[in-house]
């Protein structure tokens, strides 16, 4: 009995230790080199950055237009602020949208319906098909072709040496990028408070620089559930892969409200790091997503 328990504990620790920052720090010092659980020679990207950008843009634009009635304060700033996407609409189009919102005649879809109409599928959390693996992520409707952005890994982004010790204790949601950047995707406890506080810090007037609804059961960006994807096993091969994506400077400001990531420290100039999950094969409705926790592509 004791032996079985010990073996179970050892297996749990073996899977978890790479995400336990004090363990990483200790091994870094011992080995005198950067410790990665990701191979040094990272694979090529599954899809190009341009394709990731296009998918996010398409999805966020659709969510933005669906949320139009909530965007009135942003619209009011339009003459002064360079809103790249809204500039594409004529004033007549904007006016017709505002009036249709005011008269309540605009059809408002749920974020999942918007995703289905835009990308042809929806994803959501449910009990994993693996015994005792807790929650997992499933394709709930539609079909996802190979090479598609199917999800995003939300959370606070920590650069190397930024303080994450207390947030990392007992936290299985810390994701490590190839260059050592960490993303804390835990939606509870201290991690949750840190994310919310960073988000409030970065708000620019009516413009939200990121989304915090992934902390709830109903995210306004329905792709932001990637932290719940489980690890592959002998029976369940990986069908998605993590891919890093740095948000370019020209990302439309009014669409940043759908980005589920925020930097812990914004004093240092750099692009916001996001991680998306890309399908490695076609995935049908009802299938669970499985990644390989030890593989990330730049
Ligand atoms: C990032 S979380 C994934 C979401 C998790 N299933 C949950 O319900 O919170 C990682 C944790 O999920 C569980 N997990 C992931 N893949 C698993 C697998 N193949 N078998 C058993 N447990 C797994 C482990 O407890 C792991 O520490």
> Is the C-beta atom of 172 inside 6 A of ligand 1?
yes
Q: What pLDDT sits at residue 83?
A: 52
Which residue, among 191, 122, 107, has the nearest Cα to 156 in the 3D structure? 191
Q: What pLDDT sits at residue 77?
A: 59
Q: What pLDDT sits at residue 203?
A: 87
What is the token pair recorded at 249? 């400077």
Pocket probe for ligand 1: among 12, 15, 290, the residue whose CB has the most ligand atoms within 8 Å is: 15
- Which of the two residues, 206 and 258, has the higher pLDDT score? 258
Mean pLDDT, to the nearest integer, of 264-292?
A: 93
Cα(170) to centroid(ligand 1), Å: 13
Nearest atom in ligand 1 to the alpha carbon of residue 135 is 8
Nearest atom in ligand 1 to the alpha carbon of residue 229 is 3
Query: CA 6: distance to chain centroid?
Result: 35
Query: For the chain, what is the radius of gyration of the CA atoms?
Result: 20
Q: What is the ipTM of this complex?
A: 0.99
Are 231 and 16 in contact, with CB atoms under 8 Å apart? no
What is the token pair recorded at 75? 């619209």
Q: In the chain, what are the domains?
A: 36-297 (2.170.270.10)
pLDDT 10s digits, 86-125 = 555 555 555 555 555 444 445 689 999 999 999 999 999 9
pLDDT 10s digits, 18-56 = 455 555 555 444 433 333 344 444 567 899 999 999 999
Q: What pLDDT sits at residue 289?
A: 98
pLDDT over threshold 70, residue 167: yes
Q: What pLDDT sits at residue 6?
A: 73
Q: What pLDDT sits at residue 298?
A: 67
Are 221 and 116 in contact, with CB atoms under 8 Å apart? no
Provide CB contacts within 8 A for 134, sequence distance 6+. 127, 128, 230
- Which of the two residues, 48 and 72, has the higher pLDDT score? 48
Mean per-residue pLDDT over the chain, rounded: 83
Q: What angle do CA 124, 130, 132 make, to 5 degrees?
A: 105
User: pTM of the predicted model, to two decimals?
Assistant: 0.81
Cα(278) to centroid(ligand 1), Å: 19
Least confident piece of the model among 20-24, 56-60, 233-237:
20-24
Cα(98) to centroid(ligand 1), Å: 44
Q: What pLDDT sits at residue 161?
A: 86
Cα(52) to centroid(ligand 1), Å: 26
């Amino acid at each position: 009995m004791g032996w079985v328990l010990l073996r179970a504990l050892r297996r749990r620790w073996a899977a978890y230790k790479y995400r336990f920052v004090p363990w990483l720090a200790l091994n870094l010092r011992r080995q005198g080199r950067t410790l990665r659980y990701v191979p040094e020679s990272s694979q090529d990207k599954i899809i190009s950055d341009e394709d990731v950008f296009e998918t996010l843009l398409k999805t966020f634009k659709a969510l933005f237009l669906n949320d139009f009635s909530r965007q009135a304060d942003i619209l009011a700033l339009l003459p002064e602020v360079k809103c790249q996407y809204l500039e594409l609409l004529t004033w007549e189009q904007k006016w017709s949208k505002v009036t249709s919102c005011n008269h309540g005649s605009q059809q408002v879809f749920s974020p999942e319906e918007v995703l289905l109409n835009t990308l042809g599928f929806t994803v959501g959390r449910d009990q994993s098909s693996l015994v005792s693996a807790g929650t997992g992520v499933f394709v709930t409707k539609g079909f996802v072709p190979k090479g598609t952005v199917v999800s995003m890994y939300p959370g606070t982004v920590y650069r190397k040496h930024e303080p994450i010790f207390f947030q990392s204790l007992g936290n299985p949601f810390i994701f490590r990028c190839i260059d050592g950047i960490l993303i804390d995707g835990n939606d509870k406890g201290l991690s949750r408070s840190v994310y919310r506080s960073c988000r409030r810090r970065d708000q620019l007037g009516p413009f939200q620089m990121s989304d915090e609804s992934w902390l709830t059961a109903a995210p306004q960006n329905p792709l932001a559930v990637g932290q719940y994807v489980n690890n592959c096993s002998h029976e369940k091969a990986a069908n998605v892969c993590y891919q890093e994506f740095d948000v370019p400077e020209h990302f439309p400001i009014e669409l940043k409200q759908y980005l589920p990531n925020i930097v812990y420290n914004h004093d240092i100039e750099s692009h916001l790091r996001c991680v998306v999950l890309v399908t490695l094969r076609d995935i049908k409705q009802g299938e669970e997503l499985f990644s390989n926790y030890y593989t990330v592509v730049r």
